Amino acid sequence: MQVHQKVRMMTSPMDGDGDTIVATNAKRKTKRPPLYKVLLLNDDYTPMEFVVHVLERFFGLNHSQAFEIMLTVHKKGLAVVGVFSHEIAETKVAQVMDCARRHQHPLQCTMEKEE
C-alpha cells in the first residue's frame, strides 16, 4: 500500500503551504504468503468423542478446547479449527479425512483461503 503523509519539517521541499511531502509505508517487496482456515463440518453420525479425539490429535488442542470446538460445530454446523500455511492446512485436512475414512465416519474437513 502506498501512503503519502504531509509532515511539517524544518527543511524543504515544501508543497506550498509549508508542509513537506514524504512517502511512507511503501509497497512490501516480499508479500506475506496467504493463510488458510481449516474448517470442520457437522454431520449426524460421527460420534462426538471421535471429533474431540481428532481435534486433540491433529490440532494440538487440550480436551476442553477440543470439546468446546466440537460443540460449536455440532450447534452451528461448522467451525474454524485453525489457520495455517497452504501446505500445513492441506496436511491437516488429509490427516482428518484419512482418520475419519479409516474409522468409517462421515466427518468432513475442508480448507478455505483467509481474506
Residues that bind ligand TYC (CB under 6 A): 40-44, 46-48, 51, 70, 73-74, 107
Helices and strands (DSSP H and E) totals, the chain = 3, 5
Read off φ and ψ for residue 39, nearest 5 degrees.
Answer: -110, 140
Nearer to ligand TYC, 51 or 93 (CB): 51
Strand, coil or helix: what is 95? helix
We find the least distance from the C-beta atom of residue 15 to ligand TYC, in angstroms, to be 58
We find the least distance from the C-beta atom of residue 46 to ligand TYC, in angstroms, to be 4
We find the least distance from the C-beta atom of residue 84 to ligand TYC, in angstroms, to be 18
Q: Which residue spans within 8-92 are E strands per DSSP?
A: 20-24, 36-41, 78-84
Q: How many CB atoms lie within 10 A of CB 88?
A: 15
Nearer to ligand TYC, 15 or 112 (CB): 112
We find the least distance from the C-beta atom of residue 56 to ligand TYC, in angstroms, to be 14
Residue with the CB atom nearest ligand TYC in the bound state: 73
Nearer to ligand TYC, 20 or 67 (CB): 67
- Which residues, in sequence order, are CB contacts of 44 under 8 Å at separation 6+? none
